[in-house]
Structure 1
Amino acid sequence: MLKRLLVFIICLAPLIQHGQGFSALWKGHFSYYNVKQVVQGNSKIYAASENAVFSYNIQTKAIKELNTVNGLSGETISTIYYSDIYELLIIGYESGLIEIAFENDDEILSVVDIVEKPTIPAVQKRINHFNAYNNLVYISTNYGISVFNLDRLEFGDTYFIGNGGGQIQVNQTAVLGNNIYASCFGGNGIRKALVTSPNLIDYQNWQTVIPGDFTAIEAVDDKLYVVNTNRQIFSVVNDVLNPLFQYNTVPLNVSHVGSNLIITISDNVYVYDANFNVISEVSINSDFTTQYTSATIDATAIYIGTTSYGVLKTALSATSNFEEIHPDGPLLNNPFSVQAESGGVWVTFGEYDLFFNPYPLNSRGFSHFKNDEWLNTPFEEVLEAKCLNTISINPSNNNQVFISSFFNGLLEVNNEIPEILYNQTNSGLESLALPNDPNYIDIRVGASAFDNNGLLWSTTSLANNPLKSYHVTNKQWKSYNFDAVIPSAYGSNLGFADLVIDNSNTKWVASYNYGLIGFNENGGKPKIKGVYKEDENMPTVFATALALDARNQLWIGTYRGLRILYNTSGFFEDNITVDEIIIEEDGIAKELLFQQFITDIEVDGSNNKWIGTADSGLFYLSSDGQKTIYHFTKNNSPLPSNTINDVSIDNNNGIVYIATSKGLVSFRSGGSNAFETLENAYAYPNPVRPNFNIVDQKVKIKDISENVNIKITDIEGNLVAEAQSRTNQRYSGYNLEIDGGTAYWNGKNLANRVVASGVYLVMLSDLDTYETKVLKLMVVR
């Protein structure tokens, strides 16, 4: 009955937004290890991580994820509540946003009344607690109490219950008998009012019955319990406190299930009966070093939210054995650097700020997605390497990976096991030198890349010789200085944001204070040059991202826009200037990505460009930048944030991995690298069956070469469709389109009609080598 009413409600309520999940092209790779709150209902456990939720079916043990791909906002979650009566999950956020997920429904309702209320400061809109009473939910916030009607799915009144009607922080509410109680901060104590009063909006109907600061209040049967900031729990009888117990730390979560009161502190969970007798107590288990955040129970088990292991399940009667419950995912939800490989991706979480400052140092380990499974290596196993960032995979040995540490050097990982940490004692790496502390060690290794000869090149910030090469076979290191461009290592150069290497072995480096730096060993007579000046058309001295495309053109991201170096081969000989890209928008000539802070640039198999920005999401551009194919933001896609930290492409499978400040997602673009020959080309699905939506899903012709002509004919030789690389490119509206190593046919003929059942010939011809191949494709309609 409720769901039938939704369409009517949505039409009437402009502040309730209707959202739904995105297409199967997107996938969320969120971490569910850090659980903020757990609740139970409808034979399920619901657990909220930082910005995503998962459910665990107690009976079937099935786990289901709910994240931005399903339609969640990706904002920071502060609390959740499940209603058995209405079969819905309510999610509250730090921002004041509320989202409602319905059981067995893919749709999400976003309620933005609090977010858009101008009279409430943004810092006071946090949702602290949901308390359901009859058909209403009392929402505790940092400004007071708001009321939401579950029957109508709409907001009612807001109660500002501070002195004189002021806004005060309400942490939790409870209803007992005829009264509603609120636990408050700021010395505002416990306040109460008649829950049946028609005028609760009037602050004068609320009275302070107990002074002080209270973190929680909970009604269990006919008893009322409160917790104050002094770690004490009391029962309240006739508005008088009766002390019961003092905990080691302030309780983090106070809730109840039936007649049981549940108190969670960072290292313990207490379950009480109706008379405040402890029926179960769960302390931290030595096998799971973590902190507890919240807990709930069913008839036989306790489910505990943790900061490191998702949800831990243990028996109510015997709490010695634990079961770890969470979806598969990376270690954390703040990926800093990603490196894709065929069928997977590596992720690190170490970070530094805009000025390449890694402090406060972080200790976070790394993650690897392989064979549809996340392999997580915690900090305890990375040889104490902090601030892990850039990942370089050895092209000759994909099981050997080098991960830069922006404090400790360079970490070598073999077959998933960190084996060697290169530093100033066992390698050519060098520490920065502090004038007043000669013993200080700080090796800030950042951008790295392999060249065509198998040498690993890396950059070290604030070092006398910032560019290093390492021969992974003979273990030889070489060092190169940038003195011709950078006058002094310490103080004048804060860091190197990116490093790419072209076919002539020129190393292109994006630097903080000296823009683009090109370096070539030149047979022992090194060439080096910097481009960073205004008369060289650089918008800033801070270069942030680099990418070489299929035409050997260098795309340069900066702190203030995009530039292209078209003549890379003449860089050291000519007076070089870089160029902006001018596009036409609404009949006006404009600079592409003008003044945008560009964080990463990647080139896909079609030579198209993926460009990440610091606050405007992700752009997907045509090969020349003249056409924006996609512009993904958190408002029109599953991106949990518009801050793009890094992007990497699995060109073999056409998957784009997008690291944002609030989580990792991937997008199956479909484009892939072209092949040198047509030997392995094939079409799928084949046959095309009646249940396949050929117009929307399209037939794929895979593993084709870079410069190819494709003709599709019927069995009698009549031309049905034709495409050619560099002409019928994808997203151009043709029936047959080519995207790198893959072509897409929507099943339509030259008359723009879907073809009939039959056998069709796909004739491939490489325009460079004259190689040909014919594929047979059966269509059944």
Structure 2
Amino acid sequence: MLQRILAFYCVALTFPFVSRAQLQPIGQWRDHLPYQQVTSVAYTTDKVWAATPYSLFSVDATDNSIERWSRTNGLSETGISAIGAEPTGNRILIAYNNSNIDVLVDDRVININSLKNASLSDDKSVKAVFLYQQLAYLATGFGIVAINLDKYEIKDTYIIGAGGTRIAVKAVTSDGTSLYAATAEGIKKASLTAVNLADFRNWQLISGTNGLPAGTIQSLASVQNNVLAVKNDSLWLQSGTNWSLLYRDGWNIKNCTVSGNRIMLSETSNNTGRVVVLTATGSFERTIQDAQLTRSPQQAVYFQNNCYIADTLAGLIAFSGTSFNRLVPDAPASIATGAMQVVHNTLWAAAGSVNANWEPVNNKNGLFRLSDNNWNSFNSSRLSILDTLSDVITLAIEPANESVWAGSFGGGLANIKNDNTITILKQNSVIQPAYFNRTSYRVSGLAFDADNNLWVANYGGENPVLVKKADGTWRTFIIPYALIEQAVSQIVIDDNNQKWIVLPKNNGLVCFNHGQSIDNPGDDQWKLYRSGIGNGNLPSTDVRCIAKDKNNFIWVGTAKGIGVIQCPQQVFTSTGCEAVLPIVQQDNFAGYLFSDEQVQAIAVDGADRKWVATQNGVWLISPDAEKTIYRFTETNSGLLSNDVKQIAIDGITGEVFFATAKGICSFRSTATETTETNSGVLVFPNPVPPGYSGTIAIRGVAENAIVKITELNGRLVYQTKALGSQAVWNGRDYKGRLISSGIYLVLTSDETHQQKLVTKIVFIQK
């Protein structure tokens, strides 16, 4: 049979290869950071650069193509405080919130970490960046740091406060002969040719003299070798040694920049904003204003006949003189640290959160959806009905129609249908207010069971467990234990239709079996799990998360590690079922699994491996927890933050999404959910291009199938076993040699040892 198959494909070499746009290669990261809140803008010879509180993107000035820059493709950090660019060069300096510095040049990232690593008790944060010739001057919380951009190192530090004290500097500029620094004491000036700018005595305080008012200055710029200074609603101009008021219109001036021989003022007043353009001599040229696109301008530059505006609400805006163009990468509107769920290649992410004491934080960012690589937001800015739905922290997708149920920690329960019609259950509904705050309707956990019943955790309610049956009727349940605040949260339903419910505030974990009928409370059974043998044997009663694996084991993440309940079907029998605390070998010592970690989320992939999120990064462990496969941190991967709040897995592609304290990122892993047969097998990349050295994914094979790569004549090249329904290959034969150009067959065999040809791979070598 195999020979006939091979003979057929030797004759018919044409094969319809399937492709998917933007399919993420295995082993690679991508970010899903917010890019709408643009705080500053700069330009190099051919690009405009926009910084957000999280990361950076560039816009090609010729075709408006957008490129993202983040930790996932080379930057050192997440969280930008300031940027500065060479207007006639190609270098851009990026200062981060933790005082780390990157210089991006020709798509290379050069890191300068000396300021970050300096042992200073002072405020090292960078407020502004000024590039002049080969130097970058950083305005910091303690003085000025000068960086040599040719050597990529710190050249000097200027401590310029009165008497040599450290003082905050907000901005730096130059008129070609002197440096000017906007400090808490006022503007200070020093000659560029001074022997030692680190000596405070070489810096002269000029505020309060020659017409310049005393006091703090917000920003500085220079036009035609004359310095401009912004103080509240006024713009002052230096001419020689004298200063005069150049412009004042009553609006608050957020920033002043000079480019294209124009002065650009970013202004705000109440809830409106605009950009005022002046000539180099201070004459009024025009006002740039749009009710939606310039509500909160922070900075503006003029480049190649366009005005580019950094706006914290609308993003990066280009104004051509007659029309506006919004330039923002497709992205969620904010970070999201609530629950995430993937259904049919669509990711839903809740943006809300609660504090450590389980109190609302009034986050109104709603929830986000990623589908076909496009993000959509569901919040009050788009749908006014969601204005009261703050702190969305839990989600459930209804299997019957894929409508979304979203739980708000204060605003009740919302149902968003596919046509975007929304129903909110709050007052005068089955959702109960917290008994200690009668205006707060706190939904903290949601899950559908196999019968399409929606189970709801109603934090603080007198009956904290609710269910909406498939017929639309509701039932409520009282947990028969004394619980602090009636605290309930995440719900997981096991293969026995038992409900496992996390009990925050150190209440532990409860298992609930409603018996033969939801409507009959007489056969309800409850089991409380706490720490200690005989009480459930959890590592800690401070339970943070739970997950069900493919063996129907319940994995319990706590503030002191993980416990595993391996016999949930025996919970209500005479033998009972207590948690097992796995012991793993780490280095030369054996210890309880994650005993020193606060486990914040657990997710199970298609190969039954466990992804574990902590405040110190994320782990992938083997199905039996005896082996660590990956450990990702900020320092060794594209993970945006070590503080990982939530994990969700796309079982079709194997992409793993991490909601971190600094935003969402994802990693395409090797395992996918299982399929019954070899249906819709997809190879990526295919054809394999010249020079490709990454991982090749063969997705859609039968569960745990043996996968063989052969030449057309049947000679075996490589053999592996699928993880779930995906096999991976590095493009080399069983001796580690890179294979030659040609067409290769992919053969699979399942547990019955029936071998089938499922697809082909084309290799193109130079």
Q: Among residues 500, 503, 508, which one is paired with 1:515 in the alignment?
A: 508
Deviation for aligned residue 1:403: 0.9
Structure 1 distance, partners of 2:25, 2:710, is: 35
Query: How much identity, in percent, do the aligned residues show?
Result: 25
Q: Among residues 80, 98, 103, which one is paired with 1:100 in the alignment?
A: 103
Deviation for aligned residue 1:682: 3.6
Q: Deviation digits for residues 73-105 of structure 1, max 9, x if unmatched? A: 3432111111144411111122211111113x2
Structure 1 distance, partners of 2:386, 2:340, is: 20
Structure 1 distance, partners of 2:492, 2:623, is: 19
Structure 1 distance, partners of 2:670, 2:723, is: 8
Structure 1 distance, partners of 2:83, 2:731, is: 47
Asked if 1 retains the 8 angstrom alpha-carbon contact of 2:370 and 2:376, the reply is yes
Deviation for aligned residue 1:396: 2.0
Asked if 2 retains the 8 angstrom alpha-carbon contact of 1:261 and 1:273, the reply is yes
Instruction: State the partner residue of 1:739.
Output: 723
Matched, 1:154 2:148: no
Q: Give the counterpart letter for 1:705 in structure 2.
A: E
Structure 2 matches for 1:197-596, cutoff 5 A? 197-210=194-207, 211-228=214-231, 230-246=232-248, 248=250, 250-266=252-268, 267-283=273-289, 285-288=290-293, 290-316=295-321, 318=322, 321-359=323-361, 361-380=362-381, 381=383, 382-384=385-387, 385-398=389-402, 400-415=403-418, 417-425=420-428, 427-434=429-436, 440-471=438-469, 473-482=470-479, 484-485=480-481, 487=482, 492-493=484-485, 495-512=487-504, 513-523=506-516, 524=520, 525-535=523-533, 536-573=536-573, 574-596=575-597
Q: Give the counterpart letter for 1:744 in structure 2.
A: V
Deviation for aligned residue 1:336: 2.8
Moved more, 562-571 or 493-502: 493-502
Structure 1 distance, partners of 2:250, 2:395, is: 43
Moved more, 746-755 or 573-582: 746-755
Asked if 2 retains the 8 angstrom alpha-carbon contact of 1:618 and 1:631, the reply is yes
Asked if 2 retains the 8 angstrom alpha-carbon contact of 1:497 and 1:543, the reply is no
Instruction: State the partner residue of 2:136.
Output: 137
Matched, 1:49 2:52: yes
Instruction: State the partner residue of 1:625.
Output: 625
Structure 2 distance, partners of 1:462, 1:687, is: 54
CA distance 1:550–1:409, change in 2 (3 Å): same
CA distance 1:716–1:639, change in 2 (3 Å): closer
Moved more, 73-82 or 648-657: 73-82
Structure 1 distance, partners of 2:95, 2:530, is: 47
Deviation for aligned residue 1:617: 1.1
Asked if 1 retains the 8 angstrom alpha-carbon contact of 2:352 and 2:363, the reply is yes
- For structure 1, the residue ranges without an aligned partner over 5 or more in a row are 1-20, 722-734
TM-score (norm 1): 0.87
Structure 2 matches for 1:600-639, cutoff 5 A? 600-613=601-614, 615-639=615-639
Deviation for aligned residue 1:630: 0.7
Q: Give the counterpart letter for 1:743 in structure 2.
A: A
For 1:397, what is the secondary structure of its paired residue? coil
- For structure 2, the residue ranges without an aligned partner over 5 or more in a row are 1-23, 208-213
Instruction: State the partner residue of 2:650.
Output: 650
Structure 2 distance, partners of 1:690, 1:235, is: 59
Q: Deviation digits for residues 288-330 of structure 1, max 9, x if unmatched? A: 47312111112533221112221122234x5xx4221111111
Q: Which has the higher contact order (CA 8 A, sep 6+)?
A: 2
Asked if 1 retains the 8 angstrom alpha-carbon contact of 2:44 and 2:88, the reply is no
Q: Deviation digits for residues 113-140 of structure 1, max 9, x if unmatched? A: 111111352xx11111222222222211
Structure 1 distance, partners of 2:404, 2:514, is: 25
CA distance 1:415–1:74, change in 2 (3 Å): farther
Q: Give the counterpart letter for 1:300 in structure 2.
A: N
Asked if 2 retains the 8 angstrom alpha-carbon contact of 1:73 and 1:640, the reply is no
Structure 1 distance, partners of 2:702, 2:407, is: 36
Structure 1 distance, partners of 2:415, 2:656, is: 25
For 1:379, what is the secondary structure of its paired residue? coil
Instruction: State the partner residue of 2:210.
Output: none
Q: Deviation digits for residues 644-702 of structure 1, max 9, x if unmatched? A: 121101101111111111111111113111113x2526463698768485x85346253
Deviation for aligned residue 1:224: 1.9
Instruction: State the partner residue of 1:660.
Output: 660
Q: Deviation digits for residues 677-736 of structure 1, max 9, x if unmatched? A: x2526463698768485x853462533135x45566677777665xxxxxxxxxxxxx51
CA distance 1:494–1:189, change in 2 (3 Å): farther
For 1:383, what is the secondary structure of its paired residue? helix
Structure 1 distance, partners of 2:378, 2:71, is: 25
TM-score (norm 2): 0.88
CA distance 1:417–1:169, change in 2 (3 Å): same
Matched, 1:762 2:747: yes
Structure 2 distance, partners of 1:645, 1:39, is: 33
Q: Give the counterpart letter for 2:509 in structure 1.
A: L
Q: Deviation digits for residues 341-386 of structure 1, max 9, x if unmatched? A: 2223112211111221113x12113221111211223324143211
Structure 1 distance, partners of 2:315, 2:139, is: 26
RMSD: 2.6
Asked if 2 retains the 8 angstrom alpha-carbon contact of 1:514 and 1:530, the reply is no
Structure 1 distance, partners of 2:420, 2:602, is: 30
For 1:739, what is the secondary structure of its paired residue? coil
Deviation for aligned residue 1:416: 5.6
Instruction: State the partner residue of 2:189.
Output: 192
Instruction: State the partner residue of 1:12.
Output: none
Asked if 1 retains the 8 angstrom alpha-carbon contact of 2:260 and 2:302, the reply is no
Q: Deviation digits for residues 41-100 of structure 1, max 9, x if unmatched? A: 313221101121111122211111111111123432111111144411111122211111
Q: Give the counterpart letter for 1:590 in structure 2.
A: G
Instruction: State the partner residue of 1:17.
Output: none
Moved more, 341-350 or 682-691: 682-691
Asked if 2 retains the 8 angstrom alpha-carbon contact of 1:537 and 1:579, the reply is yes
Structure 2 distance, partners of 1:761, 1:268, is: 61
Q: Deviation digits for residues 558-583 of structure 1, max 9, x if unmatched? A: 12211111111111233543122211
Deviation for aligned residue 1:477: 1.0
Structure 2 distance, partners of 1:36, 1:451, is: 45
Instruction: State the partner residue of 2:211.
Output: none
Q: Deviation digits for residues 748-776 of structure 1, max 9, x if unmatched? A: 66666667767657241335xx7664446
Asked if 2 retains the 8 angstrom alpha-carbon contact of 1:314 and 1:322, the reply is yes
Structure 1 distance, partners of 2:611, 2:598, is: 14
CA distance 1:200–1:719, change in 2 (3 Å): closer
Q: Give the counterpart letter for 1:458 in structure 2.
A: V
Structure 2 distance, partners of 1:344, 1:718, is: 40
Q: Give the counterpart letter for 2:281 in structure 1.
A: N
Question: How many residue pairs end up in the alignment?
Answer: 718
Structure 1 distance, partners of 2:304, 2:709, is: 64
Structure 1 distance, partners of 2:254, 2:235, is: 12
